[in-house]
Structure 1
């Protein structure tokens, strides 16, 4: 209530209130100055208000006094109950904890004024959860109150805690919260087998490393406290079985380590132990944290295939052994108690040529065909054993057969020798070293003997010297050789081996006579010798020859087509005159001019120039022409020409590259200085009278000689 000394009670004074909450929370009576609260005040929301009041003249609104300030304080009453900071609380405590083990602390707050009375003084008490837990009334700390709480008996507890203000006195307000307490596991339980005896049955054909069976011990604990290990502590079959732990299922898996055999042992007994991996020393006093059990494994009989005495067999046979010769035997038996007879056979997939066979009853392996060690030194076959009572039961065994060598091959030249002798060779001169090869393999190694064949010993131009080291020398027996008289010599060499029975063969060595310089280097030889000297292999020569033959066939075909369209004789008659006139001024240098211009082309444009290859024979680049040395000047001229022509005839007759048909070699220009002068037919066709050809009788022999030198055959000579 406010009152001014200027107020006479006549209603001329009016009271005015301003400040916090004026007009809303607080109102003032303008006439009397009484202040009233219009709403319920909450100290926890605002504990005091500052207001200002003044008295004014009602009629003039003039202030009668100065403004006054005053404070309205809100006194606290117990109108708020305690509230917990969480609801619910979650807590864990190890099982088997001692009494008084702290679990969790709860906290409640009261909005009332703690400095004014006991409105905000809170006391804690436990409403539910006894006798397992207790709570400190002042701090709210929850502790265990009962010893030996076992998680395996009861794991979860719901504890209700009350907080009451007014120090717990009568009339105080209260609040509650729930605390969910879980007992955490400790390893206080050992693993235990559910049975003392386990039994498994397994067939004797069980694969190694496979599972025979699984056992499992139980542990009341959980997590890592329930992890366990299994091991075999006793067995009447050491090493036969093993046990491993499956970590995901905590099972002990029994694994087979060695093969089972029903006929040898039909039952096994194992002693197995299980124990925890993580042991808590606090609970050793409870007892041993392990358990034991017995496992009985019964082996079941299975019909098994025959078993060979050996994993493989090795046999030997001479390559000259007769058919049906027994070279060895195999043996297999049925391992089952009810033993069955065994039948043998050859796996033909391993002996497709049917070289061997086996006796069906006793397993004897014998030969069906002749053997050849040089063709197959080893034979690898398989023998099949089949049960007579159950043909589906089969087994195989590899048989390796070694073919023993017999001296059944004669030695031959080690290679294809290409040998030549110089015309100026001296007697007893070595021209070739030869060696031998033999596909046989004598135990002591090869020993070859070389000699000249008896039929050639009397008239031989060469001799054979055995060096006693599996080589021999070919020696000359006279001074000088004449390629014109004989260009090729054939020397028969007999080669014998030193094994029993002795084998020998006659091998012919071809020796060509060549022109050499003083140092013995070949200068000129026949085509075959030059080809060999070039160092080309046989395969390369064949390939080149095929290419040349194909090219020649194309050229010959092209020439034949052209000749079919227009065939012009080499010598044009006077009546067959064309409009084209060819002028030429080169007469050449006579017989001595061998490089003169060939005017045959002027007569026949299709004729091939000297620089081009002839289309009717193999190119001379592949088989070069043989240049024979000029005969000695001391001999008769006519005899020299005759010998030269005879030698050319012999070479052309034996030339493998000569065409199989008659060919015409024309020589239209013979140089200046000739008695017959020019042989050109152009002059003949331009002369009114008959041309005189009397010179042909004089130069005919020379043409014949030139034709032989340039490769003509017998028909050439006739021409």
Structure 2
């Protein structure tokens, strides 16, 4: 019910009116008299002329059934015999305000709201009913709508969104809330707002006069609780009983700071990789945990030992440590590696911990798995020699390969037929001895390039090149380079040179043979011609010009 509140407002209203009367000297103007105050029996009687008009006061939000009495306009020329008529003009005249033209009583016809319009300016005059002559000229006065506390405070936002760093000191500013009251701030406490916190203690507090929200609890930890919902009340009448109130919600988020170090969930990690793993491949992933978020949770991983075999990097999306291989593995040489991996935050906050406190280490064991590898030849390539007159079946050399695995399986050998389409060579499968299958001719082909395969369990295979050099034997007779007819003049002298002949041999050394020239036995019968040996090598003789 509003009755106690209205009674309180009336008491305040009367106090103000009485004060106004004492300071302004009344509500009368020359020839006029104002008696009564909005439902009161107060009356003023003129003792002399020359009083000034003052304001009429009318309480807003009148709830009565009849028109609300404002006051009385009276001329000292009115002898109350019905000869004077009162006329009202100005703001709201005839609609909001009406005057009894006989008595001068002024009423408001409807409920008024100060927040819509705080005052009205009107004029009144007294007119002789018979002649229509103005007995009192128009005089202006004001009706002021007197405020009551009928508006609750309203916040400018609902909800408010705010944030503050975790671990902030007590009293740290968070946000300021503001509520406004449409009531008259110049009168009483109707618009005097006081703030209080209804929900959110003991974490936050609010300053009653300013609406500033501050932290109230030390060491608030985002990792324990991140979001808070605070309810703030604004109450008018300076917070006194009977005042109106409004509320708003403030959603506060604690912002992360780097107050948590990264930690490995376990002390030892183990990964198994095949010895055939290629350098650059991933060995395993490590993931440290950090209760912080965003930039404060970024980590860096470092291998503290065996950096020549392994290295680490950080996946910036997942914050995982990626261990990769740098060099080839060999199960037969080393079967396990033990690494010490360190993780630390990239960005540190020196307010909370030293750099050492923001590090953690874990042991990583890398187990190398044996892979069934193909046989390995003892040499990268083989060179063999054989004379061209060697008999088929002659062994010209041997190759050797072993199984690199621990079980040392037996290795078998064979010639890759694609490199020996004519089947010139063959090999003993158990010992790798290479032999020829047919006669060779150095003058036909001096080198043969073949490939030998080594297999293990008829599955894994490796190859090695074998270069066979065919050595020369003297199996070719010299041949004349030119067979020409020779001509001689009939008057030629004895000993005159008729022709020079040269010869060559397909055997080695090319261009380095020493030939001996003579007449064939069947030609020696004819004593008219002789052959003289120049005693030069094959190379020299072939370069001598013909004569």
State the TM bucket, normalised to the shorter chain.
Answer: 0.7 to 0.9
Distance 1:372 1:147, change over 3 A: farther
Distance 1:306 1:5, change over 3 A: same
In structure 2, C-alpha distance between the alignment counterparts of 1:127 and 1:22, rounded to whole Å = 48
1:394 positional shift:
2.4
Distance 1:148 1:442, change over 3 A: farther
1:473 positional shift:
2.0
2:339 pairs, out of 265, 270, 273, with 270
Is 1:304 aligned to 2:369, yes or no?
no
1:242 pairs, out of 311, 314, 318, with 311
Is 1:398 aligned to 2:470, yes or no?
no
Superimposed CA distance per residue, residues 661-682 of structure 1 (whole angstroms, 9 cap, x where no aligned partner): xxxxxxxxxxxxxxxxxxxxxx
* Alignment correspondent of 1:349: 418
1:326 positional shift:
2.4
* Alignment correspondent of 2:189: 118
**Gap runs ≥5 in structure 2:** 1-71
Matches within 5 A, 1:101-180: 101-180=172-251
1:7 positional shift:
4.2
* Alignment correspondent of 1:638: none
Contact (CA 8 Å) 1:26, 1:36: kept in 2 or not?
A: yes
In structure 2, C-alpha distance between the alignment counterparts of 1:58 and 1:117, rounded to whole Å = 45
1:362 positional shift:
0.8
Which one has more relative contact order, counting CA pairs under 8 Å at least 6 apart?
2
In structure 2, C-alpha distance between the alignment counterparts of 1:437 and 1:20, rounded to whole Å = 144
Contact (CA 8 Å) 1:267, 1:296: kept in 2 or not?
A: yes
Superimposed CA distance per residue, residues 368-417 of structure 1 (whole angstroms, 9 cap, x where no aligned partner): 23445565554332212122xx3223222233334456676788899x99
Matches within 5 A, 1:696-707: none
2:318 is paired with a residue whose SS is: coil
Contact (CA 8 Å) 2:258, 2:349: kept in 1 or not?
A: yes
Distance 1:288 1:437, change over 3 A: farther
In structure 1, C-alpha distance between the alignment counterparts of 2:292 and 2:142, rounded to whole Å = 69
1:187 positional shift:
1.4
The number of equivalent residue pairs is 464
1:32 positional shift:
2.4
In structure 2, C-alpha distance between the alignment counterparts of 1:91 and 1:417, rounded to whole Å = 115
Contact (CA 8 Å) 2:505, 2:513: kept in 1 or not?
A: no
2:351 is paired with a residue whose SS is: helix
In structure 2, C-alpha distance between the alignment counterparts of 1:117 and 1:459, rounded to whole Å = 165
Superimposed CA distance per residue, residues 52-104 of structure 1 (whole angstroms, 9 cap, x where no aligned partner): 33344556655454332222222233222222221111112111122222222
What is the TM-score with the length of structure 1 in the denominator? 0.56
Query: Which region of structure 1 is more displaced relative to structure 2, 400-409 or 374-383?
Result: 400-409
1:268 positional shift:
2.7
1:222 pairs, out of 289, 293, 297, with 293
* Alignment correspondent of 2:166: 95
Distance 1:374 1:110, change over 3 A: farther
1:345 positional shift:
0.7
Structure with max Cα Rg? 1
In structure 1, C-alpha distance between the alignment counterparts of 2:504 and 2:111, rounded to whole Å = 133
Superimposed CA distance per residue, residues 649-703 of structure 1 (whole angstroms, 9 cap, x where no aligned partner): xxxxxxxxxxxxxxxxxxxxxxxxxxxxxxxxxxxxxxxxxxxxxxxxxxxxxxx
1:383 pairs, out of 428, 452, 466, with 452
Contact (CA 8 Å) 2:502, 2:541: kept in 1 or not?
A: no
Contact (CA 8 Å) 1:464, 1:472: kept in 2 or not?
A: no
In structure 1, C-alpha distance between the alignment counterparts of 2:89 and 2:505, rounded to whole Å = 140
In structure 1, C-alpha distance between the alignment counterparts of 2:455 and 2:113, rounded to whole Å = 107
* Alignment correspondent of 1:203: 274
In structure 2, C-alpha distance between the alignment counterparts of 1:54 and 1:417, rounded to whole Å = 163
1:167 is paired with a residue whose SS is: helix
In structure 2, C-alpha distance between the alignment counterparts of 1:464 and 1:69, rounded to whole Å = 163
Distance 1:170 1:442, change over 3 A: farther
* Alignment correspondent of 1:284: 353
In structure 1, C-alpha distance between the alignment counterparts of 2:187 and 2:500, rounded to whole Å = 137
Contact (CA 8 Å) 2:385, 2:396: kept in 1 or not?
A: yes
2:406 is paired with a residue whose SS is: coil
1:163 positional shift:
1.9
Larger helix proportion, structure 1 or 2?
1
Contact (CA 8 Å) 1:407, 1:442: kept in 2 or not?
A: no
* Alignment correspondent of 1:593: none
**Superposition RMSD in Å:** 4.1
Contact (CA 8 Å) 2:472, 2:507: kept in 1 or not?
A: yes
* Alignment correspondent of 1:472: 544
In structure 2, C-alpha distance between the alignment counterparts of 1:111 and 1:267, rounded to whole Å = 81
* Alignment correspondent of 1:329: 398
Contact (CA 8 Å) 1:165, 1:174: kept in 2 or not?
A: yes
Distance 1:53 1:337, change over 3 A: same
Is 1:74 aligned to 2:141, yes or no?
no
Contact (CA 8 Å) 1:16, 1:54: kept in 2 or not?
A: yes
Matches within 5 A, 1:477-626: none
Superimposed CA distance per residue, residues 265-306 of structure 1 (whole angstroms, 9 cap, x where no aligned partner): 333322222222222211225961111222223333443332
Contact (CA 8 Å) 1:449, 1:470: kept in 2 or not?
A: no
Contact (CA 8 Å) 1:268, 1:296: kept in 2 or not?
A: yes
In structure 2, C-alpha distance between the alignment counterparts of 1:44 and 1:53, rounded to whole Å = 26
Contact (CA 8 Å) 2:285, 2:321: kept in 1 or not?
A: yes
Distance 1:363 1:54, change over 3 A: same
Contact (CA 8 Å) 2:126, 2:135: kept in 1 or not?
A: yes
1:360 positional shift:
0.6
Distance 1:399 1:45, change over 3 A: farther
In structure 2, C-alpha distance between the alignment counterparts of 1:417 and 1:103, rounded to whole Å = 118
1:303 is paired with a residue whose SS is: coil
Distance 1:115 1:309, change over 3 A: same
**Gap runs ≥5 in structure 1:** 476-719
1:472 positional shift:
2.7
Superimposed CA distance per residue, residues 205-264 of structure 1 (whole angstroms, 9 cap, x where no aligned partner): 4444333332222211122222222222235xx733333333322222333334444443
What is the TM-score with the length of structure 2 in the denominator? 0.73
1:349 is paired with a residue whose SS is: helix
In structure 2, C-alpha distance between the alignment counterparts of 1:151 and 1:206, rounded to whole Å = 44
In structure 2, C-alpha distance between the alignment counterparts of 1:440 and 1:11, rounded to whole Å = 167
In structure 2, C-alpha distance between the alignment counterparts of 1:144 and 1:433, rounded to whole Å = 122
